[in-house]
Structures are given as structure tokens and as C-alpha cells.
A and B are shown apart, each in its own frame.
Chain A
Amino acid sequence: GAVVSQHPSWVICKSGTSVKIECRSLDFQATTMFWYRQFPKQSLMLMATSNEGSKATYEQGVEKDKFLINHASLTLSTLTVTSAHPEDSSFYICSAVNPSGRRNEQFFGPGTRLTVL
């Protein structure tokens, strides 16, 4: 099956520092990946769509200078939270579309829990 990994699974950082989260498609090449944010007991909120080799498309209200997304290869997208603050603490989930699989089916990573002190 299609497997998506995320690293790290949990990260704690100090306010003002930057944190990078990696999302990898392990057994397929993903031209499109998505980044979501999920607050406790809430649904997933799409932050941005990441296309390999081009700039990410950010959803309204998401600060592109704060949440830097890089989709440098067909198997890796990274989300960097710059100058993190406590309000950035959340659960971040990535997903990827397998272009060889069923249309529009996304495979999700296990998520990254970010805690900013």
C-alpha cells in the first residue's frame, strides 16, 4: 500500500526558534502533498498544497512567511515553522496523492505534535 511518513512525531521547542517537519512518501512518487493543522478535538484544517518543483499554494489566513513549505523532490515535502510561538502548538498532518493510485485518494502521515514553550 501507499505509505507516508512524518518526522519527527513529536517536537518541543522554545519560543522564537524554527522547527522543520518532514513528510515522505515511502513507496510512491507524490507530485502533490498537503499540509493540515489539527487542534484538539477539531477537524483538519488545510494549510497549504505543495506541488513538486513549484511554490506552495497557501489557504487564506495562513502566513506563508511563517509556515515555509518546500517540495524539493517527488518523495519529500517539508514544513518549517519559523519563529515559533506557543499559539503555533498543534498537531500537523501531511498527506500525499499517489498519481498511480485511485483518483483523488490521499494517504496521510502519522502526524507531528508540536509544542512551543
Chain B
Amino acid sequence: AQTVTQSQPEMSVQEAETVTLSCTYDTSESNYYLFWYKQPPSRQMILVIRQEAYKQQNATENRFSVNFQKAAKSFSLKISDSQLGDTAMYFCAFVVGGSQGNLIFGKGTKLSVKP
């Protein structure tokens, strides 16, 4: 079975500090894509960052970066210089390449950024 595990139901961080959200996944496929999505209180799902499994280089998007460890099947998200607007639910997800494209989501981590 293909699964995504987010072991931290809730986390908090002080504004301007750095926080890392954990994610592990399980799949026997070699071609897949990994994502972190953010869901703020508005409940609109927003793509934060994306990683192709065949790329060794970790993806970065401004203050967001990932630590992708393929052998360990780990895909953590680091948020630097946390801002109040980063407060949201964060979902880790992956999709198998060549499939219909349905995402497999983790249960999410609720991140609170405190002033």
C-alpha cells in the first residue's frame, strides 16, 4: 500500500524562526512526485513546493525548502523566517508518475506561527 505519514499533528514556531515539518512515505514505485500543500483557514489548498523523485537536488521556493532523502523515503519541509501568514495546515502528498495522477495525502500538520 502507498502511504504518507506525518508524525507531527501540531507544531508551533516563533515568528522569524525556522521550523521543520516531517513526512515519510511508502511506495514501491521509482517514478513519483512529492508535494507540500498548505491549507490556511480559508481552506484553499495552495501548492508550497514540489519535488521530482528522479532529481537529487532538493527543491527550494523562497523561504521554503525540502530535505528529500529517497533511500529513507523522507521528505521534510523547512520554513525559514516564519511569518504569521504561514499559519496553516500543511499536507505532504505524493503521486505516482504515469498514473491517473491521484494524490496520496498525509494526515497533515497544523502549524501555528506565534508573534
CB within 8 Å of B: which residues of A?
A: 32, 34, 38, 42-44, 46, 49, 51, 57, 91, 93, 95, 97, 102-108, 110-111
Contact = CB atoms under 8 A, between A and B. Distances in A.
Interface string B3-18: 0000000000000000
Interface in B82-115: 91, 95, 97, 100-103, 105-108
Contacts of A91: 43
Contact of A46 (B35, B97, B102): B102
A88 B100 CA distance: 26
B56 interface: no
Nearest to B100: A49
Contacts of B108: 42-43
A39 B91 CA distance: 14
